[in-house]
Amino acid sequence: MGRHRVPVRRNRVAIEREKDTDLRTHSIGATIVQTVAGLFVVISGTYDMSVQTAEAIPAFARKYALNCTTCHTAPPQLNTFGERFLENGYQLPGTEDGGITGKKNLGDLSLDDFAHYTGVRLRGNVLRAHNFKQQNPPGAESGTVQNKSELGFPEVFSLFTAGTLSKDMGFFAEMESNLEEGATGIERAFITFNNVGGENIANIRIGKLDPSAVFSFSTLRQQLEFIGESTNSSTDAVQRAGLFPLATAAKFYGLRDRSGTVISPYAPSLYNAVAETGVEVRGRPFGDWFMYQVGVLNGSNEGFGDSNKGKDFYGAIRLDYARSANFSASLSGFAYLGNSNATVFDGTRNVDANWNRYGAAAHLRYKMLDLHGMYTLDRITHAPTAALSNFDTTASGVTVALDAYVTNRTLLSLRYDNMDAGGDLTQRTSQTFAGMQIKHYLRSNVALYARHDLNLRRAEEGNAAARNLRHAVFVGIDISY
């Protein structure tokens, strides 16, 4: 059931609370890495033998009595059938089963029925180890930039409920508790009206929604989980790079939201935001090959209500091909036009700017392979030139990811990320990372993973520490039920 999210911090500069532990020296760290990794090998070995075919299945899977693989290549990544199910407002493609499957009068609902609408996901890195070129350079908060291993499971617990209220009317809500940040909240919540005006003519979403949900590259469906950045709480300087699809990121240093808070260059935003509040319409009026999508939002980082002068708009088209053996492909492009959706500091005060994004993405699936990638280009316009004298108004990002089942239970994922950062010229640091992950499914809903992220640029010393990170290792657990 694939809704994945991102730590709650996404739209604010993250303030990492560092715990003072004694596990700080590298050698102890290495020992822990080995011990935990060893333990995982043992666990996965035993389980492989004892667990036969038991398939446990979250929300929709339960409702339809199906395995996860019916809709997902690898959760949360959808296969083509899963995509069309999502688009149809959580109804089987080609049908309007919202009024039929699992529908009961409220008084007849039992706890079992409730399970048809809810799912939970618990995940996190049991072990995290970042490795830096220079430890705790001057200016960095102590303990943040240090070669050390941390024990952290669980990091994120999500509860989601979704389904249909009646024919062509669906709902989705997700609560997330980020245990690392101690924050709990509604991550996304919207209702859908489907097949308005005829089959697939118009599907409407209203609420706190993720605009890229139906794009060829969906922010929330990546195999390599979001690893949050770390930012100095007083200076806003990025101390440690975030590890996640950089094409979705804000990419500007020193850009602020309308309340004046600095937006982290690592926050997924605009079209690729985890969620923004608004209304969207999309459909495939000419058949399966073509999709349109248009939406209007309060604007970036505008939650409930709107302090904006104007709304943000987006439009996207997507071309699909799904008529060859075991193969499907899609190509999409979007334009996101901001309207006073950000501010820039001009030396004395924050002045309005328009923050726009253009992007293109492709997605190919063939048997065991799932390849998807996106390029985005961001532009800041309409700000007074004085405010932009030390500010690069253009930024771009690329993410390419490949997921492949090397065996029936083992998923290999590779990812390339690049961000040509913009914004404040004195701070901005571009980034290039390669990530690799092996995920092993003990059962269809319980997976262990080990991951390595590597800085492809030469790591630098000093406090522009985003590029101080050389590589990082994560070992974690992902459970959905």
Partner 1 sequence: MHRRVLRYLAILIVTGFCATTAQALRPKDGRDTITEGHRIYDRACVWCHGTEGKGDGPSGWSIGRYAAPRPRDFTAESYKLRSTPSGELPTDQDLFRTITQGIPGFMPSYRSLNEQERWQVIAYLKSLNPAFEQEQPTPMVLPSPPLFPSGNGITNGRALYAKYECRTCHGDNGAGDGPESKAGHLRDAYNLPITATDLTDPSSFKNGATPHDLYRSIMTGLDGTPMPAYADQFAGQEEAAWDLVWYLQSLSGQPGR
> In this structure, are residues 365 and 73 in contact, taking their beta carbons and an 8 Å threshold?
yes
Phi-psi region of 73 (alpha: psi -120 to 50; beta: other; left: phi over 0): alpha
Of residues 282 through 341, those in contact with partner 1 by CB under 8 A are 322-328
> In this structure, are residues 242 and 224 in contact, taking their beta carbons and an 8 Å threshold?
no
Q: Which stretch binds partner 1 (CB under 8 A): 96-104, 107-115, 177-185, 253-261?
A: 96-104
Q: What angle do CA 277, 379, 465 make, to 5 degrees?
A: 90
Site map 80..109 versus ligand HEC, x via CB under 6 A: -x----------------------------
User: What is the closest distance, in whole angstroms, from the C-beta atom of residue 79 to ligand HEC in the complex?
Assistant: 9
User: What is the closest distance, in whole angstroms, from the C-beta atom of residue 85 to ligand HEC in the complex?
Assistant: 9
Q: Which two tokens stand for residue 407?
A: 């065996």
326 binds, among partner 1, ligand HEC, none (CB under 5 to 8 A by kind): partner 1
Among 47, 64, 292, 481, binds partner 1 (CB under 8 A): 64
Q: What is the largest CA-CA distance in the chain?
A: 67
User: What is the full DSSP assignment across 404-442?
Assistant: EEEETTEEEEEEEEEEE-EEETTT---EEEEEEEEEEEE
Of residues 149 through 168, those in contact with partner 1 by CB under 8 A are none
CA dihedral 92, 97, 98, 100 (to 10 degrees): -140
Query: Using the rule CB under 8 A, is 110 a contact of partner 1?
Result: no
Query: Using the rule CB under 8 A, is 73 a contact of partner 1?
Result: yes
* Residues contacting residue 219 through CB under 8 Å, at least 6 positions apart: 6, 210, 212, 245, 248, 268, 272, 273, 274
Distance CA 97, CA 101 (A): 6
Among 44, 67, 69, 70, binds ligand HEC (CB under 6 A): 70
The residue among 81 and 193 lying less far from ligand HEC, judged by its C-beta, is: 81
Give SS3 for 316: strand
Q: Which stretch binds partner 1 (CB under 8 A): 118-126, 350-358, 405-413, 420-428?
A: 405-413
Q: Which stretch binds partner 1 (CB under 8 A): 60-68, 236-244, 248-256, 421-429?
A: 60-68
Of residues 342 through 361, those in contact with partner 1 by CB under 8 A are none
In this structure, how many other beta carbons lie within 10 angstroms of the beta carbon of residue 179?
15
The residue among 88 and 149 lying less far from ligand HEC, judged by its C-beta, is: 88
Give the binding site for ligand HEC (CB under 6 A): 70, 81
Which residues in this chain contact partner 1 in the complex, by CB under 8 A? 52-53, 55, 64-67, 69-73, 79-82, 84, 91-97, 100-101, 199, 322-328, 365, 367-368, 405, 407-408
